[in-house]
Structure 1
Amino acid sequence: MKEHDQRGLAIFSGKNFTRPTAYVLLLSLSYALGYLSSSSVSTKEQASRIEETPQSNTPRKNATTDSTISLQSEPDHFHFTTQCADPIPSKLVRRTIIDRVFNGTNPYDGFPPAHVSHLLRRKRIKGWGSTGAVFENLIRKVKPRTIIEVGTFLGASAIHMAELTKRLGIRTQILCVDDFRGWPGFRDRFRDIGMVNGDVMLLYQFMQNVAHVNATESVLPVPFSTGSALEKLCEWGVLGDLIEVDAGHDFHSAWSDINRAYKILRPGGVIFGHDYFTGADNKGVRRAVNLFARVKGLRILLDGQHWVIDSP
């Protein structure tokens, strides 16, 4: 044994080295060794994770597929409602909505009420892509008895579909789902839409537009948020042969509306919507539509600015 090793032993075994002191030194030494060991393992694990993570500038050909797999592993992303009720006959749809939404009274009876009549324009019909060829193409194809429009604003496309079904001799009930509140700032573009005690007149102006073209027997408003209304239609067994989704245009709103609407689509029906090509590109409606079709294994058809998905 070397001389300096012998001196080290003497330090620990000498009479002047007390037991408490030895205990403190041993504890400190153990702590130091444990810390160094932990740091070494942590560094190795971090290095391993870095090696396993693809570089940020490496293109990912299956990015959408990866997102789909992630969503499929999270059932809450698809659990929008319980099982829908058995479908009611198309001839009972109008009566069901009047009974459950309007307490049995036709909302057009006595319209317009005196306190808003002076605020309404005789006709104020405005929409975007509301008279495209896709409407007649799909109505001729599906011959729908029930049409559900998700997002209606002033009713331009609903009125166009009512005129088409009448001209084609198809007896159709059109349900317009909208909270009729517009969006923050919409009155900057529609200054002629009145307001009473904070209540914008969108619902009343929509009804005035419908009355103006004599479509009150075929067009009914369902004045609630799209999510809550579609849930209730599902629970009531109100299904659509043709469903247009054109409400919120951000990804999350469109994703929610498309999933909920698809649950109330009759077999053989068609779901479609507007704004597939917009400045939002793949961050809004298009992303929601593409992801939905991929997850469900469905094919997207395009008709101008509109996307179209047939039921299986």
Structure 2
Amino acid sequence: MKEKENQRSLHHNQKNLVNVTMKLFAKSTAYVILLLLSYTLGYLSSTTSYSYTPPQPLTDDGPAIVPANQLDNFRVTTRCADSLPSQLVRQTIVDRIFNATSPYANFPPPHVSQLLRTKRVKGWGSYGGVFERLIKKVRPRVVVEVGTFLGASALHMANLTRQLGLETQILCVDDFRGWPGFRDKFKDIHMINGDVLLYYQFMQNVIYFNATDTVLPLPYSSGSALMKLCEWGVVGDLIEIDAGHDFNSAWADINRAWRILRPGGVIFGHDYFTAADNRGVRRAVNLFAKINGLQVQTDGQHWVIDSTVNV
């Protein structure tokens, strides 16, 4: 009798276990179904409002393709003032930067007179044939040089324009600070209270070569100087870019300089085929030309973009 009761109890327990298991399974199944349904609805709603654009493949020349909707990220749209007549450029710079007095007046100041060399000219690629070819082609009345150091290429251009009988004003944009550690290579450039004397030695070089009427410094960063030239309506017929050699610096200088290039003018620069290219000069030049539909020409180690030649 007791054995039968035990069997009935075991059968009852098994039945209860089956019922509980079925209920749990039903709840778990419903939970899983609900979870999958929520995920599916979330995925479908997200794909309707977001589209993924894969990154563009890179080449040595920069992005292979620049999507049309990203071009605005690369454009410089600053509006410049109406261009000044070339004969007013020098006086405008002297008035606005040097308080209406030539920076060469009463030069050198007493505290540096004993620290300057009679001349100390140094440059890189400063005497290439590209200068003569472009000056003969453009016959510029205003040249803007971005990055001048001690003035080698500026003085070379001054001599070329003089030989051609041109009345050309050459504006030299440079902060005249060199770069950290440059005095390891130029130990003869003196320093006073942390101020390297590049600016004064540049001016001494200009005086030595009798080019004070032609060559005028703008002792500021390229960004601030080019922005002000744009605001003042100073435009160049020929613009040389040879300041910072990393991609961002070269890119910014080219874009700002393009804004002040007179229609029909030429912009060019050094280090298209030198070790500095590894830092981004060539990538910046090629990307700028690609975005603006322009053609890059080469002349030795220099790149040249003629505003009248399109792709």
TM-score scaled to structure 2, two decimals? 0.83
- Aligned residues, how many? 289
Query: In structure 1, what residue type is equivalent to 2:64?
Result: T
1:164 equivalent to 2:160? Answer yes
1:75 equivalent to 2:75? Answer no
Q: 1:143 to 1:37 in 2, by over 3 A?
A: same
Aligned partner (choices 253, 258, 265) of residue 257 of structure 1: 253
CA distance in 2: counterparts of 1:238 and 1:104, whole angstroms: 17
Q: 1:268 to 1:192 in 2, by over 3 A?
A: same
Could you tell me which residue of structure 2 aligns to residue 65 of structure 1?
64
Query: In structure 2, what residue type is equivalent to 1:64?
Result: P
Q: 1:217 to 1:38 in 2, by over 3 A?
A: same
Aligned partner (choices 140, 158, 167) of residue 136 of structure 2: 140
Percent identity, aligned pairs only, is 61
Give the 3-state SS of the residue equivalent to 2:67 in structure 1: helix
Could you tell me which residue of structure 2 aligns to residue 209 of structure 1?
205
Could you tell me which residue of structure 2 aligns to residue 299 of structure 1?
295
Stretches of structure 2 that go unaligned for 5 or more consecutive residues are: 1-11, 47-52
Alpha-carbon deviation of 1:124? 0.3
Deviations 1:271-300 (A, max 9, x none): 000000123546511101111111111111
Aligned partner (choices 257, 263, 266) of residue 262 of structure 2: 266
Query: In structure 1, what residue type is equivalent to 2:160?
Result: L
Q: 1:69 to 1:198 in 2, by over 3 A?
A: same
Give the 3-state SS of the residue equivalent to 1:103 in structure 2: coil
CA distance in 1: counterparts of 2:60 and 2:303, whole angstroms: 24
Q: 1:290 to 1:32 in 2, by over 3 A?
A: same
Could you tell me which residue of structure 2 aligns to residue 247 of structure 1?
243
Stretches of structure 1 that go unaligned for 5 or more consecutive residues are: 15-21, 46-51
CA distance in 1: counterparts of 2:199 and 2:299, whole angstroms: 29
Give the 3-state SS of the residue equivalent to 1:128 in structure 2: coil
Alpha-carbon deviation of 1:104? 0.7
Alpha-carbon deviation of 1:78? 1.7
Could you tell me which residue of structure 1 aligns to residue 230 of structure 2?
234
Aligned partner (choices 195, 198, 208) of residue 191 of structure 2: 195
CA distance in 1: counterparts of 2:200 and 2:110, whole angstroms: 12
Could you tell me which residue of structure 1 aligns to residue 90 of structure 2?
94
Deviations 1:76-128 (A, max 9, x none): 4323x520000000000000000011111110000000001111111000000
CA distance in 2: counterparts of 1:101 and 1:30, whole angstroms: 79
Query: In structure 2, what residue type is equivalent to 1:73?
Result: Q
CA distance in 1: counterparts of 2:37 and 2:60, whole angstroms: 40
Could you tell me which residue of structure 2 aligns to residue 18 of structure 1?
none
Aligned partner (choices 282, 287, 291) of residue 286 of structure 1: 282
Q: 1:283 to 1:108 in 2, by over 3 A?
A: closer
CA distance in 1: counterparts of 2:293 and 2:173, whole angstroms: 27
CA distance in 2: counterparts of 1:59 and 1:101, whole angstroms: 43
Q: 1:168 to 1:30 in 2, by over 3 A?
A: same
Deviations 1:37-68 (A, max 9, x none): 677899999xxxxxx979x9x998997332x2
Could you tell me which residue of structure 2 aligns to residue 186 of structure 1?
182
Query: In structure 1, what residue type is equivalent to 2:83?
Result: P
**Aligned residues of 2:155 and 2:211 also touching (Cα < 8 A):** yes
CA distance in 1: counterparts of 2:71 and 2:58, whole angstroms: 25
Q: 1:290 to 1:12 in 2, by over 3 A?
A: closer
Give the 3-state SS of the residue equivalent to 1:268 in structure 2: strand
Aligned partner (choices 101, 104, 116) of residue 100 of structure 2: 104
TM-score scaled to structure 1, two decimals? 0.82
CA distance in 2: counterparts of 1:120 and 1:61, whole angstroms: 43
CA distance in 1: counterparts of 2:124 and 2:60, whole angstroms: 35
CA distance in 2: counterparts of 1:181 and 1:101, whole angstroms: 18
Max Rg structure: 2
Give the 3-state SS of the residue equivalent to 2:177 in structure 1: coil
CA distance in 1: counterparts of 2:180 and 2:42, whole angstroms: 50
Give the 3-state SS of the residue equivalent to 2:240 in structure 1: strand
CA distance in 2: counterparts of 1:291 and 1:251, whole angstroms: 10
